[in-house]
Structure 1
Amino acid sequence: MKVIVMGAGVIGVTTAYYLAKAGAEVTVLDRQPGPGLETSYANAGELSYGMTSPWAAPGIPWKAVKWMFMKRRPFFIWPLISPPMWAWCAQMIRNCNADSYRVNKSRMVRISNYSRDVMPELVAETGITYDGREQGTLQLFRTAKQLKSSKADQEILAEFGSPYEVLDQDGCIQAEPALAQVREKFVGGLRLLADRTGDCRVFTMALAEKCAEMGVEFRYGQTIKSFVIENDRVAGVDTDIAGRVTGDAYVCALGSYGPRTLRPIGIKLPVYPVKGYSVTLPVIEETAAPQSTIMDETHKVAITRLGDRIRVAGTAEIAGYSKRLGPHATDTVRHVINDLFPGAGDLTRAEGWTGLRPMTPDGTPVLGPTRYPNLYLNTGHGTLGWTMACGSGRAVADIVLGRKPEINFDGLTAARYE
C-alpha cells in the first residue's frame, strides 16, 4: 500500500514511522524545508501524561476574562471579524461544564496513556536521543488557594491511575533544588510522576532520519493546494511544485492548516490555531537551573530543562493565523524564568519563537476515518501533540492499514462533530 502523509511535524513523522514499520510505501509532503519546523519546533518540551486535560473546563470562561486583564497575562483574544474563530469559541464554552469535561478528559487520557506506553518501545527500536528526562512535572502553586483547588485535579488523577504527590515548600525544593533561592514565592506543588520531558523537534528530526533509512520519501518545500476527488475517493493531492501526488491512502496531519485544506472537499473540522510563545536559552549556572519541568500555575508557563538549555513556554493567544513575534510577545515567559530561576540561563541569548497549536473546542484530537474511505485524519492535538504523537501515530497507522487499533476510537473521530 502506498500512503501519502501530509505534514512533517511530530504527528506526521510518527505516523509515517508506524506505517513504514508495517511495510507500507510512504511519502511525506511538507511545505517547510525540513521536519518539525512549525508547531513542533520549540514547544514546551513536556510529555504531559499527568496533565492531559481539556482547556474547556468548568469555570474557565470567567477565569479567561480575568487572565486577559493580568499584567503578564496567560491568555488573550483579539477581536477579529472571523466567524470560524467565534464559532470555535462558542463551541469551547459549551464544553465548559462538568459532564463534558469528564467525557473529553477520558477520551484524551485514552490516547495519552497509550502514547506513554508505546513511546519507550519506539525509542528502544530506533535508538534515537532527544534530550529526554523522566523526572516528572512539578505544578507550582504560588497561593494557598491554588493548592487547595488542586484537590479536584488530584481526584481525577487518582481516577485515571496517574501517579502524583502533593508537596509542601520543602518537598518542592527537594524535587527542584534551585527553587530554594525563591522559596518565599510559592506555597507548595503537585508533582506528576509519570510525566517526561524532551526536545520535540530533535525527536522529530531524528525519527525522520530513521524513516528515510526505512524507505520513507520526504518531499519538502511542497505546499498542498487541493485534493483530487474521483468516484467519492481521494485520487491525489495537487502541490505547487511537484504537481499531482497519488497514493492508495492519504493521512492529513497538517495541524492548524488542515481545516483550510479539507474544507473545499466538504470536511469541516472545528480545529483552530491557538498561538503560543517560547524562549530557549543556554544554561549558565547549573545549580540555579531546573532539572525537569515546572509549571507556574499563576502564569500558565512551563519551564523545561533540555540538556544544556532551558525552554520556557506559555501564553494562549487567539489571533487567527498570525505568527508575528512582536517585541514584547515573550515578556511573560521571560519574566517567569527570571522570577523562579534567576541566574540559571542567559536571557541575552534567548531565542524567541511563536507557533500555532491546532486546538479542538473539546480538547480531543481528531483521528481516523473521514467521509472518504481512503482519507484519514491525525490532527487537533492542541498543546499535547508531543505528548500524544506516538500513540495517535500508531493507532492511525493501524486504521489506515486495516488493522484493529489497540485503543478504542469511540469519540475520537470527526463523526462526533456531525
Structure 2
Amino acid sequence: MKVIVVGAGIIGATIAYNLSRDGADVTVVTDQSPSATQASFGWINASFYADEVHHRLRVTSMAAYGRLMDTLPSLPIQMNGALWWEEQGDGLTALQDALLTLGYPVERLDSVDVSALEPELRGLPDVFLRFPSEGDAEPDALAAALLKASGAHVVTGVRVKRIIENNGMVCGVETQMGIMAANKVIVAAGNGAPEILASVDVALPMLVRPGALVATKPISGKVSSVLVTPNGEARQLPDGRILASAVASHQSDSSDKVIENAVEIAVRVLAWLDPLIGDERLEWDCVSLAYRPVPEDGLPVIGRVGLDGLYVAVMHSGVTLAAITGEAIAADVLGKGDAFDALLAPYRPSRFQ
C-alpha cells in the first residue's frame, strides 16, 4: 500500500512512523514552510483540557508516548512533571478537585517542597499543584527523529497543490513537480491543510491563532519541571536556554493578532521570568512567532473525510496529541481502526462537512 503524508511536522512524522512500522510504503511530502512544530512550546500534558472527553484523549496520548519511548528510548522527551501555580486559592483547589475526580495524578505542594524540588526558583507563592506524569519534548527534533526512525521516503521543498481522485477514490496528489500516485493520502499540513482539502470540496474552517515564544540565552542553573505561572508557561531547553510563552494560558489564548513588536514581547516576558529563575540575570536570545493550527471549534480534527482513502489530522496541542494520532490514523488506514472509534468520535472531520 502506497501512502502519502502531506506535512512533516510532529503530527505527520508520527503518522509516518506508525504506518511504516506496520508495513506501509510511506512518502512524506513537505514544502518546508515554517511550521507550528518548529515554534511549539512542547508541553505534553492533560491538565489542560476542554472537557472530560478531551481530557481522556490527552491522557490516552500520554500513554501512547510511553509506548513510543519504550520502542525509541533516545527520543528528545523528558517526563519530569509540571508545576502549576497559575491561580491560588479557590482556583487552584477547583483544578485539583476536577483532576482528582478524573483520576489524574495531582500532588499539592508548598513552597518548601518546591524549593527542594526546583532550587533555582525564586519568589514562590505558598501553594502549588504538581502533575508528575507530564513532561516536555523538543518538537522539531522529535519530528526529525521519528521521520528518520520511520524509514519513510521524504520529499522536501515541494508544495502539494491538490488531491487527485478518480470515481470518488484518492489516487494521489499533484505537486509543483508533478503527480505522485498513492492509495491513501493523509493531510497533516496544519494551517496549510484547508487549501489542499478544498481541492476536493472538503471543508476545514480554521481560527487565526498566533503564538509567540521567548527564549533566553543559556543559564548554568537547571530547571527540570514545566512551570505554569500566572504570567505564562516556561521550561528549560536542553542547551540551557529558558523558553517561555508570551501570554498566560498559552494553550487556550484566543487572541487573533499580535499587537506588540518582538522587543516589547521579550522585555515584558523577562520582567516576570528573570526574578523567577535563579540568581543569573536573564537575557533574551530570540522571539519566535507561529500560527497554531486551531480548527474552528477549537478541537482536534482526526480521521477519514470525503473521498475513499483521504484522511486529515490537524489540531492544536499537536505535541500532546501526536502519539495517539499517529497510532489511530495508521490503524484506520490499515483497516484496524475500530479500537479508536469511540475515542475519536467527537473529532471526526465530518462535523464540518
TM-score, length-scaled by structure 2: 0.89
Distance 2:295 2:268 in 1: 25
Given candidates 267, 291, 299, the residue that maps to 2:224 is 291
Distance 2:219 2:289 in 1: 24
The alignment status of 1:139 with 2:84, answered yes or no, reads yes
The alignment status of 1:263 with 2:209, answered yes or no, reads no
The answer on whether the counterparts of 2:164 and 2:172 sit within 8 Å (CA) in structure 1 is yes
Distance 2:15 2:31 in 1: 17
Deviations 1:111-163 (A, max 9, x none): 22222112222223234331x3222111124x6xx331123322321232210
When the two chains are superposed, the root-mean-square deviation of aligned CA atoms in Å is 2.4
User: Displacement, 1:346?
Assistant: 4.4
Give the match for residue 123 of structure 1.
Answer: 69
Which secondary structure does the structure 1 equivalent of 2:120 belong to? helix
The alignment status of 1:372 with 2:307, answered yes or no, reads yes
The answer on whether the counterparts of 2:7 and 2:187 sit within 8 Å (CA) in structure 1 is yes
Distance 2:274 2:65 in 1: 33
Within 5 Å, which residues of 2 pair with 1:110-189?
A: 110-130=56-76, 132-141=77-86, 146-179=88-121, 181-183=122-124, 186-189=125-128
The answer on whether the counterparts of 1:198 and 1:306 sit within 8 Å (CA) in structure 2 is no
The answer on whether the counterparts of 1:172 and 1:188 sit within 8 Å (CA) in structure 2 is no
The answer on whether the counterparts of 1:325 and 1:354 sit within 8 Å (CA) in structure 2 is no
Which secondary structure does the structure 2 equivalent of 1:410 belong to? helix
Does the C-alpha gap of structure 1 residues 235 and 325 become closer, same or farther in structure 2, counting only changes over 3 Å?
A: farther
What residue identity is the alignment partner of 1:114? T
Give the match for residue 45 of structure 1.
Answer: 42
Deviations 1:226-275 (A, max 9, x none): 222321222322212x2111200010101122122222422112332411
Give the match for residue 397 of structure 1.
Answer: 330
User: Displacement, 1:22?
Assistant: 0.5
Give the match for residue 95 of structure 1.
Answer: none
The answer on whether the counterparts of 2:190 and 2:293 sit within 8 Å (CA) in structure 1 is yes
What residue identity is the alignment partner of 2:291? L
Distance 2:38 2:280 in 1: 23
Distance 1:325 1:6 in 2: 33
Distance 1:3 1:325 in 2: 42
The answer on whether the counterparts of 2:262 and 2:287 sit within 8 Å (CA) in structure 1 is no
Deviations 1:6-58 (A, max 9, x none): 0000000000000000000000011118xxx5211132221113x2313xxxx
User: Displacement, 1:377?
Assistant: 1.1
Does the C-alpha gap of structure 1 residues 122 and 259 become closer, same or farther in structure 2, counting only changes over 3 Å?
A: same
Give the match for residue 312 of structure 1.
Answer: 244
Give the match for residue 32 of structure 2.
Answer: 32
Distance 1:268 1:334 in 2: 41
Distance 1:197 1:31 in 2: 27
Which secondary structure does the structure 1 equivalent of 2:141 belong to? helix
Give the match for residue 250 of structure 2.
Answer: none
Within 5 Å, which residues of 2 pair with 1:8-19?
A: 8-19=8-19
Does the C-alpha gap of structure 1 residues 26 and 161 become closer, same or farther in structure 2, counting only changes over 3 Å?
A: same
Does the C-alpha gap of structure 1 residues 227 and 331 become closer, same or farther in structure 2, counting only changes over 3 Å?
A: farther
Distance 1:194 1:339 in 2: 27
The answer on whether the counterparts of 1:237 and 1:245 sit within 8 Å (CA) in structure 2 is yes
Structure 1 segments of 4+ aligned residues over 6 angstroms from their partners: none
How many corresponding residue pairs? 345
Which secondary structure does the structure 1 equivalent of 2:68 belong to? helix
Distance 2:172 2:146 in 1: 26
**What stretches of structure 2 of length at least 5 have no aligned partner?**
248-252
Does the C-alpha gap of structure 1 residues 273 and 28 become closer, same or farther in structure 2, counting only changes over 3 Å?
A: farther
Which secondary structure does the structure 2 equivalent of 1:219 belong to? strand
Given candidates 164, 184, 191, the residue that maps to 1:249 is 184
TM-score, length-scaled by structure 1: 0.76
Does the C-alpha gap of structure 1 residues 343 and 209 become closer, same or farther in structure 2, counting only changes over 3 Å?
A: farther
Does the C-alpha gap of structure 1 residues 328 and 260 become closer, same or farther in structure 2, counting only changes over 3 Å?
A: farther
Give the match for residue 194 of structure 1.
Answer: 133
Does the C-alpha gap of structure 1 residues 158 and 247 become closer, same or farther in structure 2, counting only changes over 3 Å?
A: same
The answer on whether the counterparts of 1:325 and 1:353 sit within 8 Å (CA) in structure 2 is no
Bigger drift between 408-417 and 157-166 goes to 408-417
Distance 1:148 1:172 in 2: 20
Bigger drift between 248-257 and 337-346 goes to 337-346
The answer on whether the counterparts of 2:169 and 2:308 sit within 8 Å (CA) in structure 1 is yes
User: Displacement, 1:332?
Assistant: 3.7
Give the match for residue 234 of structure 2.
Answer: 303
The answer on whether the counterparts of 2:295 and 2:314 sit within 8 Å (CA) in structure 1 is no
What residue identity is the alignment partner of 1:198? A
Within 5 Å, which residues of 2 pair with 1:92-103?
A: none
Which secondary structure does the structure 1 equivalent of 2:89 belong to? helix
The alignment status of 1:347 with 2:278, answered yes or no, reads no
Distance 2:320 2:26 in 1: 23
Give the match for residue 387 of structure 1.
Answer: 320
Does the C-alpha gap of structure 1 residues 285 and 253 become closer, same or farther in structure 2, counting only changes over 3 Å?
A: same
Distance 1:387 1:205 in 2: 16
Which secondary structure does the structure 2 equivalent of 1:339 belong to? coil
What residue identity is the alignment partner of 1:187? D
The answer on whether the counterparts of 2:105 and 2:133 sit within 8 Å (CA) in structure 1 is yes
Give the match for residue 145 of structure 2.
Answer: 206
**What stretches of structure 1 of length at least 5 have no aligned partner?**
55-104
